Amino acid sequence: MFIYYTFNKVTVHFSMSEIKKDEKDYKQRIRIKIKAFDHKIIDQSTKTIVDTIERSNANFFGPIPLPTEKRKYTVNRSTFVHKDARDQYEMRIHKRIIDIIDPSGKTIEDLTNLNLPAGVDVEIKMQ
């Protein structure tokens, strides 16, 4: 079984045995999940995170785009009559994942001091 990632029109494929073998070699891993409603803001914030990781010379995978979550809401236009008249609204949540392998103390300190724009939800997990 192979996993395919496409970044900037370059496709990279890994076999599952390679990924499992590589995961055993890591002592520590940080997974950063980024969520936002606007795709421009999430791309900007992932770029700043990747730049700070590159400045600290840490190895990382990503940013890996995850499927966009779409929440759809249907609302009646009128309060009492005309049940066939409805409005439909959609909320899109864009997601990205970045994995940092064997981060140094400087990397963790730089990530905690980041100043990201409003509307971006960042979740950091150490594994």
The mean pLDDT value of the chain amounts to 81
* pLDDT band of 2, cuts 50, 70, 90: very low
Alpha-carbon span 53 to 58, nearest angstrom? 6
pLDDT > 90? residue 117 = no
pLDDT > 60? residue 71 = yes
Instruction: Report pLDDT for 1.
Output: 45
Least confident stretch, 17-26, 63-72, 90-99, 102-111: 17-26
Instruction: Report pLDDT for 8.
Output: 47
Domain chopping of the chain, boundaries: 27-78+86-126
CATH of domain 27-78+86-126: 3.30.70.600
